[in-house]
Chains A and B, each alone.
With several copies, the nearest count.
Chain A
Amino acid sequence: MELKDLIKPENLVYDKSKVQRDVYMHYCPGCSHGVVHKILSELIEELDIQDKTIGIAPVGCAVFAYNYIDVDWQEAAHGRAPAVATGVARLNPEKFVFTYQGDGDLASIGSAEIMHACNRGENILVIFINNGIYGMTGGQMAPTTLEGMVTSTTPSGRNTDLNGYPMKITNLIAELPGTSYVTRQAVHTAAAVRKCKRSVKKAIQNVLDKKGTSFVEVVSTCNSGWKMTPDGANKWMAENMLPYYPLGDLKDSIKGEPISEN
């Protein structure tokens, strides 16, 4: 059988989502951001919510996310996406609002905003790209940078005495009663991407059902910042990041559930 007989519309099983805009992305080859963008585009299409979606783009490598996913967007100041999303969502309760934030953005400068948006149980989805580094600004240490990991501000590796500890902020988020669904996923293999997509779908559905804040961490690579090849970065991530940031749901409950008693 010839390829041209196979490559026909009726046999199409996988294609770019219509919600993904037809432009080249500025990301480095192999960057996880692209995969997560794809998941979001596909789900916005599948759930038919393009006309009610408002995305909040961060300052970070994903600052241009608004050029890639074809929905209305707001670009937020560094770290403040959860506050921006709060403003949008409170005044527009029928919209689907999500933030898309890096680990520097969410876990460092924006830690107050994310904690409080989640504590208030804002009805939004938070996508948290944890690549353990500040990609955009050239590879500085992030709160989530692993111990010993080399970055441009920890050239001899992160030393916890000087720089503190890699922060499992998602675990803290899960403790907040405002969140209903908190999960940690990855996109380094096809299986992981599919699983991640299921989680994001559930998270979006939660928001559509007004169940409070849904939070999806995606443990990601930044091969540029890590100074590795894309596959090398995926492997390094699986071996080093995932033991510290293990994948899976951290919370799947209803908003308002009290945190561990003590």
Chain B
Amino acid sequence: MTEEMIIAGFGGQGVLSMGKILAYSGIMEDKEVTWFPSYGPEMRGGTANVTVILSDTRISSPIVKHFDTAIILNQQSLDKFQDSVKPGGTLLYDPNGIIHPPERTDINIYKVDATVTAVEMGNPKVFNMIVFGSYLKVRPILTLDNVEKGLEKSLPVRYHKLIPLNIQAIKKGQEIVESVLEV
């Protein structure tokens, strides 16, 4: 199993930390992982994206041209990465602020209204965990158990009390994700 994915959105949406939890959860399943962020001063208030690869074997290139999965959290990122999803691959997006939704017809497209749901849940910070949950639903490559362990590993101990809330958000995400197109 090798899953090559990109997560992209605004800085502040928790893009990098979602990738990190993913990677940590992968480690809990004894997978090889690579987390490769874009970096630079434009990150200050600008866009952020991270390539995450999980694999059962040695990971070769951290630079990926065609992704198995793209998790897209704003229009800019959608425009930039839509075409990079492999035919038959998966694109998951939050429709908030999206004016031009994805147009590909050869990939699986899902959407999750995480922005709205997070506000509804009374905590905008769980936004990225809702998205993460949706991802786990459509690409069940990790068990929730290991994700919980991943959370434990990636969060400093003082934040461990927030893990139940995060798990709740993940479950919520699993519930609310909608299929737009399945190929």
- Chain A interfacial positions (CB closer than 8 Å to B): 26, 28, 136, 224
Contact = CB atoms under 8 A, between A and B. Distances in A.
B45 A28 contact: yes
Interface in B123-151: none
Contacts of A224: 44
B41 interface: yes
A139 to B, nearest CB: 11
A25 to B, nearest CB: 12
Contacts of A28: 44-45
A67 to B, nearest CB: 13
B147 to A, nearest CB: 29
Interface of B: 41-42, 44-45
B48 to A, nearest CB: 14
A224 B43 CA distance: 12
Nearest to A27: B44
A30 to B, nearest CB: 12
Contacts of B42: 26
A131 to B, nearest CB: 15
Nearest to A28: B44
A136 B45 contact: no
Contacts of B45: 28
A84 B45 CA distance: 32
Contacts of B41: 26, 136
A136 B41 CA distance: 8
A226 B44 CA distance: 14
Contacts of B44: 26, 28, 224
A224 B45 CA distance: 11
Contacts of A136: 41
The interface centre, meaning the residue of A26, A28, A136, A224 with most chain B CB atoms within 10 A of its CB, is A26
7 contacts: A26-B41, A26-B42, A26-B44, A28-B44, A28-B45, A136-B41, A224-B44
Nearest to A224: B44
A29 to B, nearest CB: 8
A136 B42 CA distance: 11
